[in-house]
Amino acid sequence: MEIKYIEYGTKEYEENVKLRVDVLRRPLNCDMDEEERAFEKEGAPIVGLYDQGKMVGAGVMGFVDEEQIEIKYMAVSEEMRGKGVGNAIMDELEDYARRNHYKKVVLVARTGVLPFYEKRSYITLGEAYEPGFVPVMHIRMEKELKE
């Protein structure tokens, strides 16, 4: 498996968006509009994880401030779940944060995947809620980074 950083607007970017929509939105009869992804035009770190040339995982970060960076999207194709794809993407995103001197990674996770993030030392903040864009409960989480 290989991780690649992806440039906004490329063929690989469109592949990344399609994977995210297929995994995160289509099962809920929702879509992901361009406005929702507008921040990605500003140099957001976008990664794809490839297995035998096929993108099987995607991750996107958004800039918060000088000390925090947010994981905005994280998606793993159904056939590759449980095979280390999610951890490989998270390792890369957290390493990106460390290399760029961020002290904390924040995210909003679906409550169904809390165990995945908790195993990676993320802690929950506040109560679960249903955001307006998908009918699934979410909760804010964060992780303090060590050098």
Nearest to 17 by CA among 60, 49, 54, 62: 60
6: which DSSP letter? -
Q: C-alpha distances in angstroms, 79 versus 83, 113, 120?
A: 9, 16, 22
Residue 26's pLDDT is 81
The mean pLDDT value for 68-90 works out to: 94
The mean pLDDT value for 32-57 works out to: 89
CB atoms within 10 A of CB 67: 10
Are 6 and 45 within 8 A, CB to CB?
no
pLDDT tens digits for 90-134?
Answer: 999 999 999 999 999 999 999 999 999 999 999 999 999 888 777
CATH code for the part of the protein at 2-103: 3.40.630.30
With a cut of 80, say whether residue 89 has pLDDT above it. yes
Residue 36's pLDDT is 77
pLDDT tens digits for 10-34?
Answer: 999 999 999 999 998 887 777 777 7
Are 91 and 119 within 8 A, CB to CB?
no
Q: Which residues are CB-neighbours of 30 under 8 A, at least 6 positions away?
A: 133, 134, 135
Q: Whole-angstrom Cα distance, residue 62 to residue 44? A: 6
| Domain map (residue ranges) of the chain | 2-103
Per cent of the chain over pLDDT 90 is: 73
